[in-house]
Structure 1
Amino acid sequence: MDTALTRSQFVRWRAAIFAIFLASGLSIATWASRVPDIKAALHVDNAQMGVLLLGMGVSSIVGISTSPAVMARTGARLGMLVTMLSFAAGVGLIGLGTNVLGSLPVVIVGLVLFGLGNGSLDVMMNVEATAIEQQMGKTILPVFHAFFSFGTVIGAGIGALLVQLGWNVSSHALLIAAVIAVLAVTCWANVPNREEALDPQPAQKPHWRERMHTALEAWREPRTYFLGIVMLGMSFAEGGANDWLALGVSEDHGAGPALGAAALATFSVAMTVVRLFGGPLVDRFGRVVVLRVLAITAAGGILLFILAPSTPFVFVAAALWGIGASLGFPLGMSAAADDPAKAAARVSAAATIGYIAFLGGPPVLGFISNHIGLLNTLYILVVLAALSGLFSGAARPLREDEKVSAG
């Protein structure tokens, strides 16, 4: 049980989950940093690359939504090992398919493994992170998400360096796959068995069908959907910024590509800083108050971005946008995991809603923007951020008598 852990065991557990978040971000940035080289090596056009991206996104959502089934069968500890090795293999296959085999089908198989593994891992690592948060008695989940961001920064930096050094995609991908595989085994060795995470217990192990029934109960609880709306609004805000903020600055505000990239960096830095240092604010004022303030900040930042009369205002808007979108997803995860006995199911359900928005939202915005323009399309994000604030009451911590059922 969690309460029986020594201080040393707890510290190793926490470090392992930090490393898992970082590894997930590292893998995603490895793929993203080599997309131009993969496209050139396989001789595919933008439409075909779009299909590849869509396939990866769909497989990620499948991984997220089926993660409770994986946990019901294996528990979180073994499940994280298997899913990390799966997406490590996916990264390796992407590399082999690109340069060694020159095979688009092999790259597709790699992307499917990559998406499934990362999606399924996402739920499990958040379940573990929320358990650590509950043991510490203070808000730390945003810091875990900041480590994911660190992973993307490290991955992008390694990608840029290896491109400059002339490494092909295969060499790069196989190196990162090996690093992730080593991390997977090392982290697995330092994560404890936990009954709440459905890890097999020596004395008692319920039938997997019983554990599967528990895993699916969350979809019958109204609170799951209310938390999903909170996370959906912030996921749309984050995903929309990642895909469209730089373009909006460059083209719609006429500031050019360099300032567009700088504005996106401003957004990312603002988001990461709040994730690193925002926990004490949550502990002092509570999730609901913080979420409402951040929803107002996000909506205001996006509105200022749309209406900004000059470039300096655009950068202020990007910072406010990043600050506002920073904690919605991790705090939604924390709220979903308030009852450790049902954390896996509720985190999976809420995360599925949030990730569908994160992965599917930007393409929808792109389609709409073809008809009404990008800046006008961003008004949708203003409305969704406001809705996130309105439903943030669902993130109120559960009382002990409510933990039996949030329905």
Structure 2
Amino acid sequence: MTRLIRPDILMTLLPPALLYFSNAILFVSLFTRLPSIQASLEIDKAVLGLALLSAPVGTFLALPLAGRVTDRLTPRMTAIVMLPICALLTPLLTLLPLPGFIFCFFLFGFFRTIFDVAANMISAGIERRTGVKVLSRSHGFWSVGLLVGSLASGFLAEEGVSSTVQQSMAAGMAILACLTVFLLTPPDPAHAAPAVRRSAYVLPDRTILLICVMVFGLCIVEGAIYDWGIFFLREELRVDPALAGTLYAAFTVGMGLTRMFGDTMRDRLGAIILIRLSAVAVAVGVILLVSTSDYIFAGAALFLIGCGIALAFPLAVATTIALGKGQTSENLAALSLTLMLSTIGVPPLLGFIAEHVSLSATFLVLLPCILVSFLMAPVAEGKRPFRFRKQ
């Protein structure tokens, strides 16, 4: 415990803590108000799913630049420039008609992708400089932000605060956090850009492809909860906005607690066991969520799903840093690119299923993907997922 409370470690954790926390507030404030945004746009879930596809398109176009921008500006400056841009876009998403929503959501995905690469580089740099594992803990502050944001969002919605006002408040918090990081943290040491000319898109090698397959099932469940979790609580369980925010908070509590202890668990249990436990927790949570009408069991299901998906991306990042070849920024960009391409059709597909079948079916179709993550767990330690003995 002494190592966790050393002042120097706390100061090095300050930048990712503030950045991940405020980014999560911004994110969850937007996604928990999607039902009201959908109503104002006067569109159905299938169309909303297609509109949400604009952010992955932005991600795709940003990834060739993410590593280069981060290397040129340094991770610290990149993060504190990109997050305010995202923040200023989000209130517009609550005001504009459908074409404007699609364009601004595209820009949101574009700039947020560059921010994500920079934020992960900040955490990776802390681990490299101090020798202390903080990657999972850094993502844990994202989960804490989700918890605070979802509870606040439910309360503000119940009190009749408009989504525009709420998103403006979240944007102000994100900008203030970036200003604090800028004022209190020293600049990163500048380094020369590599002389070798790089291709536009960093193609993933076999290792990164396997890592993406390993976490694919867990990552799309996380996306499904973000996109359709509030819809499920409001329409299937018929809960009011305040209770929906409270139940959604159970998901963020599970994610946050697991991430805060994730670095210790990674040391003690190993990555393979963690991936398999994560897959089991997510599968059990999904089955429980769609089969219950009780609020307490629904909260427990969301808590389990939060625990299960918590370490997927941190483990993918850690494995990429440990096993990847070449520059870390390019490997992380390739990881993000591959995950984005593999999940790009998921929002419209799940939106189509939600509109024409049911919201329960939206989650049940993800179970086979979760099984794939369970089977691919050995990749987390650089091992082959399937071993066959020679006769």
Whether TM-score is above 0.5 comes out as yes
Q: Which residue of 1 aligns with 2:386?
A: none
1:239 aligns with 2:238: no
Code of the aligned partner of 2:28: A
Question: What is the CA–CA distance in structure 2 between the aligned matches of 1:357 and 1:226, rounded to whole Å?
Answer: 12
Q: Which residue of 1 aligns with 2:3?
A: none
Paired residues of 1:90 and 1:112 also in contact (CA < 8 A): no
Q: Which residue of 1 aligns with 2:213?
A: 229
> For 1:248-263, what aligned pairs fall within 5 Å after superposition?
256-257=238-239
**Which secondary structure state, in structure 1, belongs to the residue aligned with residue 190 of structure 2?**
coil
1:384 aligns with 2:369: yes
1:141 aligns with 2:141: no
1:69 aligns with 2:59: no
Question: What is the CA–CA distance in structure 2 between the aligned matches of 1:37 and 1:308, rounded to whole Å?
Answer: 25
Q: In the TM superposition, what is the alpha-carbon distance from 1:307 to its structure 2 partner?
A: 6.0
Q: In the TM superposition, what is the alpha-carbon distance from 1:162 to its structure 2 partner?
A: 5.5
Question: What is the CA–CA distance in structure 2 between the aligned matches of 1:200 and 1:134, rounded to whole Å?
Answer: 16
Q: Which residue of 1 aligns with 2:111?
A: 117
Q: In the TM superposition, what is the alpha-carbon distance from 1:126 to its structure 2 partner?
A: 1.2
Paired residues of 1:55 and 1:111 also in contact (CA < 8 A): yes
1:206 aligns with 2:200: no
Question: What is the CA–CA distance in structure 1 between the aligned matches of 2:294 and 2:225, rounded to whole Å?
Answer: 19
Q: Which residue of 1 aligns with 2:58?
A: 59
Q: In the TM superposition, what is the alpha-carbon distance from 1:332 to its structure 2 partner?
A: 0.8
Q: Taking structure 1 as reference, are residues 154 and 357 closer, same or farther at Cα in structure 2, changes over 3 Å only? A: farther
Code of the aligned partner of 1:392: A
Q: Which residue of 1 aligns with 2:88?
A: 89
Q: In the TM superposition, what is the alpha-carbon distance from 1:20 to its structure 2 partner?
A: 0.8
Root mean square deviation, CA, Å: 3.9
Q: Which residue of 2 aligns with 1:80?
A: 79
Question: What is the CA–CA distance in structure 1 between the aligned matches of 2:142 and 2:75, rounded to whole Å?
Answer: 19
> Which segment is superposed worse, 353-362 or 279-288?
353-362
Q: Which residue of 2 aligns with 1:404?
A: none
Q: Which residue of 1 aligns with 2:147?
A: 153
Q: Taking structure 1 as reference, are residues 248 and 216 closer, same or farther at Cα in structure 2, changes over 3 Å only? A: closer
Q: Which residue of 1 aligns with 2:389?
A: none
Q: In the TM superposition, what is the alpha-carbon distance from 1:343 to its structure 2 partner?
A: 1.8
Question: What is the CA–CA distance in structure 2 between the aligned matches of 1:149 and 1:185, rounded to whole Å?
Answer: 21
**Which secondary structure state, in structure 2, belongs to the residue aligned with residue 299 of structure 1?**
helix
Q: Deviations over 1:335-360 (max 9, x none)?
A: 11226962212222222333456674
1:337 aligns with 2:334: no
Q: In the TM superposition, what is the alpha-carbon distance from 1:184 to its structure 2 partner?
A: 2.2
Q: Which residue of 2 aligns with 1:365?
A: 350
Code of the aligned partner of 2:149: G
Question: What is the CA–CA distance in structure 1 between the aligned matches of 2:289 and 2:159, rounded to whole Å?
Answer: 38
Q: Taking structure 1 as reference, are residues 270 and 185 closer, same or farther at Cα in structure 2, changes over 3 Å only? A: closer
Code of the aligned partner of 1:337: I
Q: Which residue of 1 aligns with 2:387?
A: none
**Which secondary structure state, in structure 2, belongs to the residue aligned with residue 200 of structure 1?**
coil
Q: In the TM superposition, what is the alpha-carbon distance from 1:397 to its structure 2 partner?
A: 6.6
Q: Which residue of 1 aligns with 2:41?
A: 44
Match of 1:353 among 319, 335, 338: 338
**Which secondary structure state, in structure 2, belongs to the residue aligned with residue 257 of structure 1?**
coil
With normalisation by structure 1, the TM-score equals: 0.74
Q: Taking structure 1 as reference, are residues 133 and 378 closer, same or farther at Cα in structure 2, changes over 3 Å only? A: same
> Which segment is superposed worse, 352-361 or 83-92?
352-361
Q: Which residue of 2 aligns with 1:126?
A: 120
Q: In the TM superposition, what is the alpha-carbon distance from 1:188 to its structure 2 partner?
A: 3.5
Q: Which residue of 2 aligns with 1:323?
A: 307
Unaligned runs of 5+ residues in structure 1 are 1-6, 399-407
Q: In the TM superposition, what is the alpha-carbon distance from 1:228 to its structure 2 partner?
A: 0.7
Q: Deviations over 1:157-188 (max 9, x none)?
A: 55556567776555554454344333323323
> For 1:14-29, what aligned pairs fall within 5 Å after superposition?
14-29=13-28
With normalisation by structure 2, the TM-score equals: 0.77
Question: What is the CA–CA distance in structure 2 between the aligned matches of 1:248 and 1:103, rounded to whole Å?
Answer: 24
Question: What is the CA–CA distance in structure 2 between the aligned matches of 1:318 and 1:167, rounded to whole Å?
Answer: 26
Question: What is the CA–CA distance in structure 1 between the aligned matches of 2:288 and 2:312, rounded to whole Å?
Answer: 20
**Which secondary structure state, in structure 1, belongs to the residue aligned with residue 20 of structure 2?**
helix
Code of the aligned partner of 1:322: G
> Which segment is superposed worse, 333-342 or 165-174?
165-174
Unaligned runs of 5+ residues in structure 2 are 1-5, 384-391
> Which segment is superposed worse, 299-308 or 383-392?
299-308
Q: In the TM superposition, what is the alpha-carbon distance from 1:224 to its structure 2 partner?
A: 0.4
Bigger RCO (CA 8 Å, 6+ sep): 2
> Which segment is superposed worse, 21-30 or 184-193?
184-193
Q: In the TM superposition, what is the alpha-carbon distance from 1:284 to its structure 2 partner?
A: 0.8
**Which secondary structure state, in structure 1, belongs to the residue aligned with residue 112 of structure 2?**
helix
Q: Which residue of 2 aligns with 1:4?
A: none
Q: Deviations over 1:36-82 (max 9, x none)?
A: 66567xx5312565554333443245335641232244332332233
Relative to its length, the structure with more helix (as a share) is: 1
Question: What is the CA–CA distance in structure 2 between the aligned matches of 1:335 and 1:244, rounded to whole Å?
Answer: 29
Give the number of equivalent residue pairs: 373
